[in-house]
Structure 1
Amino acid sequence: MKEVTVQELKEMRDNGADFQLIDVREDFEYEMSNLAGQNIPLGGILIETDKISKDKPVVIMCRSGKRSAVALHQLEAQGYTNLANLQGGILAWQAEIDPTITVY
């Protein structure tokens, strides 16, 4: 499984890289704080594959990196080869990049 660190994600954003960020947390978690990715909760990830790009890099994130790893494996089983898991999820982003965001 390919992973990216929060520092690598920040560099991708800062450099204007063309990629898609998918947040697989539940709606209430996303509403509390998010990194402006597209919210597709894990339970619906296979139903909404039409919203996930196959043509550019896709970073999948959650709270800690566990649910996003599950989503990544489910999508790879559907033929995706362009996916990366955000190591440590939004908890790592808060700890290392932006301590002002709200996490639980």
Structure 2
Amino acid sequence: MEQIRPAQLNEWLALHADQNPLVLDVREPWELQTASVKAEGFELLNIPMQQIPASLNLLDEDRPIACLCHHGMRSMQVAVFLERQGYTQVSNLTGGIDLWTAERDPSVPRY
């Protein structure tokens, strides 16, 4: 599985531009209310980690998916799970939204 930093997201998006890349935010609703990213050049979908198994029908197995959480641990678990389910283009956003704030968008609150 590919590990990408938020600072590398534009390169990842460019590599997958013809495949409609998805950033899958696996944080809880209260976390989204606290801090959220802007979907720029990608589709953004929130499915909390615990709901992923029941929501697989919402995800295309061949679509590039970059998983996002707070610090990168939950998203890593989801990415591993997706790969085990046959998803072929899964990446983890290392450092999560916390590093996103530092590397991409300082207007996103840290928590």
Q: Give the drift of 1:12.
A: 4.8
Structure 2 unaligned residues grouped into runs of 5+: none
Output aligned runs, 1:21-40, within 5 Å.
Answer: 21-35=23-37, 36=39, 37-40=44-47
Structure 1 unaligned residues grouped into runs of 5+: none
Letter matched to residue 48 of structure 2: P
- Aligned pair in 2 of structure 1 residues 101, 26: CA closer, same or farther (>3 Å)? same
Letter matched to residue 31 of structure 2: E
Letter matched to residue 42 of structure 1: M
The alignment of Structure 1 onto Structure 2 pairs a total of residues equal to 104
Q: Could you state the TM-score of these two structures normalised by the residue count of structure 2?
A: 0.83
Letter matched to residue 2 of structure 1: E
Residues 8-17 or 20-29, more deviating:
8-17
% identity of equivalent residues: 36
- The 2-side partners of 1:62 and 1:73 are apart by 14
Tell me how large the CA RMSD over aligned residues is: 2.0
Query: Which of residues 79, 84, 89 is equivalent to 1:72?
Result: 79
Query: Which of residues 57, 72, 93 is equivalent to 2:100?
Result: 93
Q: Give the drift of 1:31.
A: 2.1
Q: Could you state the TM-score of these two structures normalised by the residue count of structure 1?
A: 0.88
- Aligned pair in 2 of structure 1 residues 48, 16: CA closer, same or farther (>3 Å)? same
Structure 1 residue 50 corresponds to structure 2 residue 57: yes
Return the structure number with greater helix share.
2
Letter matched to residue 21 of structure 1: V
Letter matched to residue 31 of structure 1: Q
Query: Which of residues 66, 69, 74 is equivalent to 1:59?
Result: 66
